[in-house]
A and B are shown apart, each in its own frame.
Chain A
């Protein structure tokens, strides 16, 4: 992406107003996230009495609940939301005074408090990892058949699959929930894994097939002359060569599952709260103030952000590869 050609090379020199316009747009795009980030580190008393932009000139008059002056920045919001503390003081203060709220023990076990973000983070990981691996694995097999094997209905089935990509998942929630209720899969990880696999497959197969189909034919011919069968060719040849496409697919699926609310809401609900479920509950129940919400939101954004910035090349390359010839 860094080396991307400039179409405007040789054009007139970039005028100052272009820079200004770009910077203004960038500031507008960044400001909301910065506001959230700064607020998540401010003590509750300050959040509600002054805007986050006053963080560099804090009001010395703001007092904590016990009368001592409030800190400018604090980690308490993160601790409170991880532990699921919803009281009026802070988790640390309550534990220091020896009277934590209901369901809290002031030990590491609080990280698994069902109201907290700690358990939600663990649950989200448990949902996401298999829900990324399963569809990619199954899709790789199918994509191999669609690109290098011949069978009846190959073309028709693939065209159908192209259509299935845009089916809204709302269309399938009710019948699947009924099946799950009968099979005892409602509220279990298996239920969500399978659902995400089903809905991830059409796109995953489509993407991998485009990539695998583009591999040079000679490769397969020489593999065949060397005595390889399809299984060997698939394992030793196709899978390693398809890794770039698998990487971008994994990022897409990871972000999709990690950030999903609707599927988690319907199939897991409060039984195994994930990050998005926990936050949406905090928003709608009004039980949590901005100090908890901002910290919780940031906890949920942390991993996707890291993945995004670390692997952006794969992500964008995946998008570029297809769209260029639009």
Chain B
């Protein structure tokens, strides 16, 4: 569900401007919408507000977060949990250490995820959509790329942990290390080597989500008017020029939508990291760090503060979504 909010976007927004055709009682509409509104209020709206409140309180929500300040150390008063959430992972003794520790913090890792997973899924998805369009076995090829979408992150975690398996003995049973040693290299502990390991996890994410991007981009490509492509071919454009100068600009709006969806997905990402490394060896992302504060350290204040930071990062996308919706309604 996470990603799919935009799947039907655009297309069939054509509900009539004046909705009613039939007569309706004064309360009729509310019988239909109230159950949904109540459930969403209880499960989304109220908890969001409550979470913000809890983030100003201490570990067990019994007093203000200001009471957790330690004498002689930096303190942000009621915002103490935010001080912890924002600065604790970062060593500010010199600008250089701050810079380095930022990039191995949960924030730095989340940025890496955002940049590389979004770029990876969108680029591979787009290229594969165009390539597959040229061959007869397109449906089969696309099914194969799309298949990981049906697997849980947990299942994918097991699959790739096995791929990355690092044997301490002579025999490597993980494919990648087996290839490396067969070529005369030294086996690499992919998941416990900081910095490298985050990128190995991102590969798993790309493997899972490329199919999503490919499917949407492929349908956008197929909706480009044939004449446009033909005309440019007659004008002597190479296939690469057709791709870069005709296709990409035409489907740019779809690309933007896919990118925003993927950014939201990566911000929320939890399972892959939780299953494969548990956030150890410097692979923490915002969501796993929040989970640990909440359910391993049982620190509600800090956990909710991290959750609030997460939603603040997502608010621009909520805004964009609503704006796009209003535009679509206007052009109907």
Contacts and interface: CB of A to CB of B under 8 A. Distances in A.
A66 interface: no
B253 interface: yes
Given A195-B43, A198-B39, A149 B24 contact: yes
A22 B22 contact: no
Given A19-B135, A171-B310, A324-B223, A163 B275 contact: no
A309 interface: yes
A65 interface: no
A46 to B, nearest CB: 10
Contact of B172 (A51, A150, A234): A51
B186 interface: no
Interface string B305-325: 001101100100111011001
B14 interface: yes
B15 to A, nearest CB: 3
A280 B32 contact: no
A14 interface: yes
A149 B264 contact: no
A67 interface: no
Interface stretch (A3-11, A85-93, A100-108, A109-117): A3-11
A210 B216 CA distance: 18
A25 interface: yes
Contacts of B9: 322-323, 326
B286 to A, nearest CB: 9
B173 A175 contact: no
A126 interface: no
Interface in A130-144: 138-139, 141-142, 144
Interface in B105-132: 124, 128, 131-132
A167 B220 contact: no
Interface stretch (B65-73, B85-93, B94-102, B149-157): B149-157
A222 B192 CA distance: 67
A166 B4 CA distance: 10
Counting chain B CB atoms within 10 Å of each CB, the highest count among A165, A206, A213 belongs to A165
Given A8-B133, A154-B19, A32 B159 contact: yes
Taking chain B's interface residues, is the majority helix, strand, or loop, or is none over half, making it mixed?
helix
Nearest to B270: A262
B20 A148 contact: yes
B7 A323 contact: yes
A326 B251 contact: yes
A318 interface: yes
Interface string A151-176: 10011011101111111111111111
A138 B35 contact: yes
A210 B13 contact: yes
Contacts of A316: 146, 215
B162 to A, nearest CB: 6
A171 B48 contact: yes
Interface residues of A, number: 134
Given A31-B175, A210-B15, A318-B7, 16 more contacts: A1-B139, A7-B222, A7-B224, A9-B226, A31-B163, A32-B159, A32-B163, A35-B163, A167-B314, A168-B268, A195-B43, A256-B2, A279-B154, A279-B275, A308-B150, A322-B6
Interface of A: 1-2, 4-12, 14, 18-19, 21-22, 25-26, 29-33, 35-36, 39, 47-53, 138-139, 141-142, 144-151, 154-155, 157-159, 161-176, 194-195, 197-203, 205-207, 209-214, 217, 220-221, 223-224, 228-230, 233-234, 245, 252-253, 255-256, 258-262, 266, 275-276, 279-280, 283-284, 290, 293-294, 296-297, 300-301, 304-305, 307-309, 312, 316, 318-326
14 contacts: A4-B138, A6-B138, A12-B239, A21-B131, A29-B148, A141-B35, A154-B19, A170-B291, A171-B48, A194-B39, A202-B44, A262-B270, A294-B162, A304-B152
A304 B147 CA distance: 10
B36 A142 contact: yes
Contacts of B172: 51
A233 B22 contact: yes
Nearest to B25: A230
B268 A261 contact: no
Interface string B258-297: 0000001001101100111010000000010011001100
A284 B254 CA distance: 39
B154 A280 contact: yes
A155 B268 CA distance: 28
A145 B12 contact: no
Nearest to B234: A10
A172 B44 contact: yes
A138 B47 CA distance: 20
A151 B33 contact: yes
Interface in B1-47: 1-2, 4-16, 18-24, 28-33, 35-37, 39-40, 42-47
